[in-house]
Amino acid sequence: MTLGVGDDCALLRVPPGQELAVSIDTLVAGVHFLPDCDPQSLGHKALAVSLSDLAAMGAEPAWATLALTLPADLPRDRPDWLPGFCRGLDGLARAHGVALVGGDTTSGPLALSIQVHGLVPSGQAVRRSGAAPGDLVCVSGTLGDAGLALRGVLAGASVPEPLRRRLDWPQPRVALGLALRGLATAMIDCSDGLAADLGHILAASGASGAGAELDLAALPLSAEVAAIGDWSLPLASGDDYELCFTLPPTQVQALTGLAEAGGVPVTVIGRIEPAPGLRLRRPDGTLHTLGRSGYDHFGA
Amino acid sequence: MTLGVGDDCALLRVPPGQELAVSIDTLVAGVHFLPDCDPQSLGHKALAVSLSDLAAMGAEPAWATLALTLPADLPRDRPDWLPGFCRGLDGLARAHGVALVGGDTTSGPLALSIQVHGLVPSGQAVRRSGAAPGDLVCVSGTLGDAGLALRGVLAGASVPEPLRRRLDWPQPRVALGLALRGLATAMIDCSDGLAADLGHILAASGASGAGAELDLAALPLSAEVAAIGDWSLPLASGDDYELCFTLPPTQVQALTGLAEAGGVPVTVIGRIEPAPGLRLRRPDGTLHTLGRSGYDHFGA
């Protein structure tokens, strides 16, 4: 960066040989978060969601801009809101070396847009489109935790703190994304649920798309999610912000090192196949059909 | 650009020797525009406001991202809204060679954030901070037209079309901004009113700020604004998106060429002085004090 907040534009210097990866995301009160949620976790999560997009390209976070819309009476009614929000945002920004270089503050219904800017050596960004038949399908961390926590919150139930943190304080898998440069053939972050997100990789890969078979028994689940016995949690609930990526089978020995570099477990959950479509194999060998919504029992 | 909409991030390639100028702006329905305004002019103006920030740095527009928040029932209730908005945005984007490389569409109260990205040779961006005593203060176009049009709209009066276009279809002075690289010592776009915007240049320039004297008789006014006889229109009403810049007196002969290159008249309206503060000199030689708000008669 050569010039930050305080002029008509911020000026960013992209080093030679690097491309700039950019992503913009909006969060609206009442749609993406509860208006009375903890502002500090909101500040964290707003940036985390965007950094997760950079991680999914193998880009190194560098800069962010923030467009914040606040109700006119919020500073008076909730004087702790803005300092809390900034604390949450700033904490994660510092952890990843992200400089806030510009922004816009306006009056209106509570909402915010964050654009993140990351650096990746030219040609080395990991796209969604490179998966090839035979590639291993892998995922980081555990799946379905944020979805289970959200169910509890919406039901007014008490949610155990570790589960609650998975929803409110997601950790973007930046280090893993960087370690996957030159190894992963395709990558995406799990924001909408594994089945939908892997679906994006399949749609983008191959001349006319690709398919995959997942081994349901291999899905990495926390004890809490495993105890529920509902496939829709790991497959169709969002907000986990784990990375889903494909790896040539010749790179299987890299997995241990990747997990260490990323500071998060990495699990092989299936394989890319030439036949289009997503096949979900049960432990008994039969195929599972993902329900459109609602409870999707392990035994069904 | 190497990759646009459709992956986790867009990938932008900044040519060697260039810096990236970025600016993000938010427009909220009911705050920055009337909810029932023409969506095509809104699409135009939303991008124009941002391109004006690039122009004010001397940056060449390259890419834009759009975060659009739409009420859930808008596509059904106003099926022409989104196509109209896109038409307005796209028309101006094409005129300036801007590629829309990414975005986010969410449900919520009508609002939008646009981030623009421009290119400027390293070290050649025109900042707010370079004005020096003796520099000429110059401005493009005419001042106060958008403010006068807004008065008419808010009063429910009939507003002549040319004046109305100054409010709804502002033209970012991109060509003039580019022509001013290496010439202007400081620059800003007039979004908040000349006095406030020139005030930002004065605050940023000099070791402890600088001052300026403006010749009120020199302010470039349309016939409509001149007929009103209210200094607050050219001095304190916003939304004109003309460029205000400072030029060393040795460059005065460049003005004709600048106006030709920019396709807009350029007028010298005053001079930077060492004494802090903004002095407004009336034709009779006395000083005018800018009222805080409201009508500010030429004769006062």
Across the range B122-138, mean pLDDT stands at 95
With a cut of 80, say whether residue B76 has pLDDT above it: yes
Start-end of H helices in B111-266:
145-154, 161-168, 174-179, 194-204, 223-228, 232-236, 255-262
Residue B281: pLDDT band with limits 50, 70, 90: very high
Across the range A241-256, mean pLDDT stands at 96
Which residues of B are less than 8 Å from A26 in CB distance? Answer: 67, 69, 104, 106, 108, 113
Of the candidates B89, B146, B141, the residue with the CA atom closest to the CA atom of residue B116: B89
- Closest in B16, B59, B108 to A111, CB measured: B108
With a cut of 60, say whether residue A218 has pLDDT above it: yes
- Closest in A21, A29, A67 to B11, CB measured: A21
Mean pLDDT score of chain A:
93
A48 CA to chain B: closest CA distance, Å?
Answer: 14
CB burial string A198-218: b at 16+ within 10 A, e below: bbbbbebbbeebbbbbbebee
Are residues B54 and A9, on separate chains, in Cβ contact within 8 Å? yes
For CA atoms A253, A255, A258, A263, the dihedral sign is: negative
Other residues' Cβ atoms within 10 Å of the Cβ of residue A50: 28
**Cα–Cα dist B20/B14, whole Å:** 7
The pLDDT tens digits for A173-208 are: 999 999 999 999 999 999 999 999 999 999 999 766
The pLDDT tens digits for A51-88 are: 999 999 999 999 999 999 999 999 999 999 999 999 99
In the numeric block, the tokens 């089978």 are attached to A249
pTM as predicted: 0.92
Q: Helices then strands (H, E): number in chain A?
A: 10, 12
Closest residue in A to B124 (Cα–Cα): A11
Q: Which amino acid is at B219?
A: L
B282 CA to chain A: closest CA distance, Å?
Answer: 30
A70 CA to chain B: closest CA distance, Å?
Answer: 11
Across the range A111-133, mean pLDDT stands at 96
Which residues of A are less than 8 Å from B23 in CB distance? Answer: 8-10, 102
Are residues A23 and B8, on separate chains, in Cβ contact within 8 Å? yes
The pLDDT tens digits for A134-176 are: 999 999 999 999 999 999 998 999 999 999 999 999 999 999 9
Most confident of A94-98, A274-278, B280-284: A94-98
In this predicted structure, what is the pLDDT of residue B293?
Answer: 53
Residue A212's H or E segment, with its range, is strand A211-215
Residue B135: pLDDT band with limits 50, 70, 90: very high
Q: Which amino acid is at A250?
A: T
In this predicted structure, what is the pLDDT of residue B6?
Answer: 76
Are residues A9 and B21, on separate chains, in Cβ contact within 8 Å? yes
Are residues A19 and B32, on separate chains, in Cβ contact within 8 Å? no
Are residues A113 and B26, on separate chains, in Cβ contact within 8 Å? yes
In this predicted structure, what is the pLDDT of residue A281?
Answer: 95
Residue A300: pLDDT band with limits 50, 70, 90: very low
Which residues of A are less than 8 Å from B21 in CB distance? Answer: 9-12
With a cut of 70, say whether residue B95 has pLDDT above it: yes
Contact B118, B60 (CB under 8 A): yes
Give SS3 for B40: helix
